Amino acid sequence: MKIPFIGHGNVGGALALGIRRLGHDVTLAVRDGRSSRVQELLARDPALRVAAPREAVQEADVVVLAIPFQIVIDALTPLREALAGKILIDCTNPVGPGLSHGLANAQSGTAMIQAFLPATGVVKAFSIYGFENFEETSFPGYGVAPVMMYCGDDAAAKATVGRLVGELGWEPLDVGGTVQALHLEHMTLLWVRMVRMGGRSPHMVWAVLRRTDAPAVTPAR
């Protein structure tokens, strides 16, 4: 797939390198390809491409958004038309003062982005852990893959993102519609408080365990 990245910092850079290693065509969507961060990533993987944001998005199958939440609308506004009909992976998290939710729990950042881009399939993913876990996803000795939760309202977009999540070594876990994004953003805040503030290892993720001998449960309607 052709996958441009809007954002190539800690999270975006780690994901870009990991996805490129899978053989996907990864582009850093940047205005200045001469920046030190771009050159650092190109030195690590010369197969990464660099293109202007609009050009990169127009050619994309899936677009990854990994920038600070406060500049999301400014970054997406000139790309709104080009993003129509595309899949957008939202890796962002609105964070407010004192590690509070940046939108005061009124709505998720993902819901805000989806409302701004109604013709785009927005999927929240790669958001609940720190960047340290995105280049190396294996946890030897446990017998289970770490879980990556994702959500969104577009079933086809989620199926594509779920396959990419699995390719990267995670257990894909579709947790539902965009309504679930607010809960994933709170999981991020939980992780940040435990790790960045509480001193726990950043190589801390969750896994899903299922009882194989448990009776099947019919979903509530």
CATH number at residue 186: 3.40.50.720
pLDDT by residue (tens digit) across 11-22? Answer: 999 999 999 999
pLDDT by residue (tens digit) across 22-81? Answer: 999 999 999 888 899 999 999 999 999 999 999 999 999 999 999 999 999 999 999 999
pLDDT of 210 > 90? The answer is no
Residue 57 has which token pair? 């998005």
Residue 13 has which token pair? 């850079």
Inside any domain, residue 210 = no
Predicted confidence at residue 221, as pLDDT, reads: 57
Return the SS3 of 51.
Answer: strand
Q: How confident is the model at residue 219 (pLDDT cuts 50, 70, 90)?
A: low
pTM, two decimals, is 0.95
CA distances from 131 to 5, 55, 206 (A): 15, 27, 15
Inside any domain, residue 129 = yes
**Residue ranges with strand state E in 7-79:** 25-29, 49-51, 62-65
Pairing of strands 95-96, 100-101: antiparallel
Count how many domains the chain has: 1
Q: How many CB atoms lie within 10 A of CB 71?
A: 11
Inside any domain, residue 211 = no
Inside any domain, residue 219 = no
Q: How confident is the model at residue 135 (pLDDT cuts 50, 70, 90)?
A: confident
CB 88 within 8 A of CB 154: no
Return the SS3 of 137.
Answer: coil
Q: How confident is the model at residue 212 (pLDDT cuts 50, 70, 90)?
A: confident
Residue 199 has which token pair? 């001193």
Predicted confidence at residue 215, as pLDDT, reads: 78
Q: Can you give the residue range of the structural domain that contains 123?
A: 2-197
CA distances from 27 to 23, 41, 48, 184, 185 (A): 12, 11, 6, 27, 26
CA triplet 147, 49, 128: central angle to 5 degrees? 20
Inside any domain, residue 218 = no
CB 127 within 8 A of CB 91: yes
Inside any domain, residue 93 = yes
